[in-house]
Amino acid sequence: MIKDNHSCPPTNFIRKIIDADLAAGKHKSVCTRFPPEPNGYLHIGHAKSICLNFGIAQDYRGKCNLRFDDTNPVKEHLEYIKSIKYDVQWLGFKWSGKICYSSDYFDKIYEYALELISKGLAYVDQLSPEEIHNYRGTLTQPGKNSPYRNQTIEENLSLFLKMRNGEFPEGKACLRAIIDMTSPFMVMRDPVLYRIKFVNHHKTGDKWCIYPMYDFTHCISDALEGITHSLCTLEFQDNRRLYDWILDHITIDVHPRQYEFSRLNIEYTLMSKRKLNLLVMKKIVDGWDDPRMPTISGLRRRGYTAASIREFCNRIHITKKDNHVEIAALESCIREELNNNAPRAMAIINPILIVIESFPIGYEQNIVMPNHPNRPEMGIRQVTFSREIYIDQEDFREESSNNQYKRLVLGKEVRLRYSYVIKAKRIEKNSQGKIKTIFCCHDPYTLNKNPLNGRKIKGVIHWVSATNNIKAEFRLYNRLFNHVYPTIEKNFLSTLNPDSLIIRYGFVESSVLANISKPFQFEREGYFYADSRSVSTSYLVFNRTVKLRDSLEFKKYT
């Protein structure tokens, strides 16, 4: 499936179990599945599960199914199904055979419900949802049996048929397993297997008004698909008892084994589809693919590559320990890749005009620059140099006694990247006292050469021609939340970072147009990627994928 130069997935406790199962002859081959509920877009946490499930299938030459867990028609939308399929493929994976849907098995699941009822292992309960809740007890108190628990098998069969035929209103009846109302595991206290919902389903239309619950559906779907290792996150640990109980009590040949691993959590971000949906609905972000979102589509729009996300998933290990990963761990994956692969270009984010009075009026000089300083095979580009150029406001000071400031200072010299040494002679301010223009002269003998009389020029700054450039909007992203664990706050919206998006208007060199579909390193500024949704024809919009590693890259030129 995928081949890249990144590291192989490290082994983990699940791979060790699989190795042992194969060595013991328990299975001939491995079959896993990725079972998203289509109630939102996939996020980076799902990528962990995708890389685990599809990665195992790939490495063991087995199979991995994509199965939509579509048992709750109220929250599920075709838009989500489409985006999930796209994201899995974009990440570089291929599911085995046709896409599966839990709803493909509704007929069979219904038959298994009848089997449980016939065995005296399930009953139709007519307590209200509130009563069911109260009868369930708590973690410290056992539950109580429902008064409907002792109905005869015939009564239950006929009541279940009535449920199916739409003769009960929603919430007036449900099917429950008969297990143990005193179990220390809440999921075993007569769990609900089927509930009534008068809702059309995207696959089965109005055929059903009863829908099976997740726990009842999931194990049966796994077994019907011949899944060998059913991998899920730790919150399903207790549910494993129910998973096994159901498969032990119905007539089915296969009994997949469930193994749990810890969810991915990232600092300053949240991973629940429900909460991410709230950000979209309240228009706090610009859709599911807003580049600040931890969704696969958001990361893609921001400039993350599939390889960098896979690399991140390789690095974060599969364990049973809950933890939070630093955002820096994700950022370093894309930064390393782009440092190696992204063509360089110059962009001015906070422009200030420079007039080089010694340079001929109207003359435009083409300067050849490498696309990558260390990779000649990435070729060269031509950039226009002219009498008027822009530099960044940060790169000029009227005076500086600080020897560490190695940029342009009034009366002093600096090198323009791949170009001439210039000296700032005077400035012009506007009526508010803000610098409008810096007037300079250049040393014509310094194009890519040291000055003749042995002067040492310490600073190098970037620039863009003021006469030959492309206007650009720069979207500078910061973390979306100020709280390291935003979900700890009752109102997580109160921890939103008001500066998560800062917009600046400036210029980029015209040569970027030739590579516009690629991520760039804008020298000294960071890695940027042209926004896929922007439609303006008068300027380009760039999303900042990630900052440069300030120390290294920055020091090189300052």
| Residue (42 or 440) nearer to Mg ion, CB | 42
Residue 298 site contact among Mg ion, ligand ATP, none (CB < 5 to 8 Å, cut-off depends on kind): none
Distance CA 307, CA 324 (A): 22
Contact of residue 469 among ligand ATP, Mg ion, none (CB under 5-8 Å per partner type): none
387 in a labelled binding site: no
Token output for 28:
């001939």
Q: Tell me how far, at minimum, the Cβ of 187 lies from ligand ATP, in Å.
A: 16
Ligand-binding site membership of 45 (annotated): yes
Residue 335, annotated as binding a ligand: no
Q: Which stretch binds Mg ion (CB under 5 A): 32-40, 91-99, 317-325, 377-385?
A: 32-40
Q: Which one, of 408, 469, 466, lies nearest residue 440 by Cα?
A: 408
Taking the least distance from each CB to Mg ion, the nearer of 232 and 540 is 232
Q: Give how far Cα 147 sits from Cα of 117, 121, 123, 194, 256, Å.
A: 17, 15, 11, 18, 34
Catalytic site residue from 33, 273, 302, 475: 273
Per CB under 6 A, 487 contacts ligand ATP: no
Nearer to ligand ATP, 68 or 474 (CB): 68
Which one from 241, 263, 315, 504 is the annotated catalytic residue? 263
Known active-site residue 524: no
310 binds, among Mg ion, ligand ATP, none (CB under 5 to 8 A by kind): none
CB of 274 to Mg ion, least distance (A): 9
Contact 347, 508 (CB under 8 A): yes
Q: Which of 218, 203, 200, 223 is nearest to 104 (CA)?
A: 203
For residues 320 and 351, the answer to whether their CB atoms sit within 8 Å is no
Minimum CB separation from ligand ATP for residue 386, in Å?
Answer: 51
Residue 212: count of CB within 10 angstroms of its CB: 25
48 assigned ligand-binding residue: yes
Closest by alpha carbon to 519, among 543, 550, 554? 543
263 a catalytic residue: yes
Binding to ligand ATP (CB under 6 A) within 32-91 occurs at 35-37, 45-46, 48-49
- 273 flagged as catalytic: yes
34 or 390: CB nearest ligand ATP: 34
Give CA–CA dist 110/210, Å, rounded. Answer: 9
Taking the complex as a whole, the smallest distance from the CB of residue 174 to ligand ATP amounts, in Å, to 21
> Residue 46 binds which one of Mg ion, ligand ATP, none, with CB within 5 to 8 A depending on kind?
ligand ATP
Looking at beta carbons only, is 201 or 415 nearer to Mg ion?
201
* Residue with smaller CB distance to ligand ATP, 49 or 308: 49
264 is in an annotated binding site: yes
Residue 344 carries which side chain, given as an amino acid letter?
A: R
User: What part of residues 325-344 is at the interface with ligand ATP (CB under 6 A)?
Assistant: none
Q: Which two tokens stand for residue 479?
A: 């973390």
> Which one of Mg ion, ligand ATP, none interacts with residue 191, CB within 5 to 8 A by kind?
none
The CA distance from 558 to 555, in Å, is: 5
305 is in an annotated binding site: no
Residues 258-277 that bind ligand ATP (CB under 6 A): 263-264, 271-273
- Check residue 37 for interaction with Mg ion (CB under 5 A): yes
Count of other CB atoms within 10 angstroms of residue 259:
18
* Three-state SS letters, 69-133: CCCCCCCCCHHHHHHHHHHHHHCCCCCCCCCEEHHHHHHHHHHHHHHHHHCCCEEEECCCHHHHH
Annotated ligand binding at 456? The verdict is no
Amino acid identity for residue 28 in this structure: K
Report the C-alpha gap between 308 and 300 in whole angstroms.
10
377 is in an annotated binding site: no
What distance lies between CA 249 and its chain's CA centroid?
Answer: 39
Closest CB to ligand ATP among 93 and 529?
93
Q: Write the interaction track for ligand ATP spanning residues 6-35; mark x where CB under 6 A is met and - where it is not.
A: -----------------------------x
Q: Tell whether the torsion through CA atoms of 240, 245, 250 and 255 is positive or negative.
A: positive
What does 233 interact with, of Mg ion, ligand ATP, none (CB < 5 to 8 A by kind)?
A: ligand ATP
Of the candidates 37, 155, 336, 388, the residue annotated as catalytic is 37
Can you tell me the distance from the alpha carbon of 317 to that of 9, in angstroms, rounded to the nearest whole number? 8
DSSP 187-218: GGSS-EEEEE----BTTTBTS-SEEE-HHHHH
Task: Enumerate residues 6+ apart whose C-beta is below 8 A from 327.
Answer: 266, 267, 268, 269, 479
Rounded CA gap, 43 and 80, in Å? 12
The answer to whether residues 83 and 51 touch, using CB atoms and an 8 Å cutoff, is: no
Which of positions 231-260 make contact with ligand ATP (CB under 6 A)?
Answer: 232-233
**Residue (273 or 302) nearer to Mg ion, CB:** 273
Please report how close the Cβ of residue 235 comes to Mg ion at its closest, in angstroms: 9
> Looking at beta carbons only, is 304 or 520 nearer to ligand ATP?
304
Min CB(263)–Mg ion separation in Å: 11
Q: State the binding string over 273-312 for ligand ATP (x if CB under 6 A, else -).
A: x---------------------------------------
How many chain residues are in contact with ligand ATP, going by CB under 6 A? Answer: 14
Q: Which residue has the tokens 């709803």?
A: 103
Answer for the pair 111, 169: CB distance below 8 angstroms, yes or no.
no
| In the complex, minimum distance from the CB of residue 195 to ligand ATP, in angstroms, rounded to a whole number | 18
Which residue is it, tokens 């990627």? 529
Positions touching Mg ion (CB under 5 A) are: 37
Binding-site positions for L-glutamine: 69, 214
Binding-site positions for ATP: 37-39, 43-49, 233, 263-264, 271-273
Annotated catalytic residues are 37, 263, 273
Positions touching ligand ATP (CB under 6 A) are: 35-37, 45-46, 48-49, 232-233, 263-264, 271-273
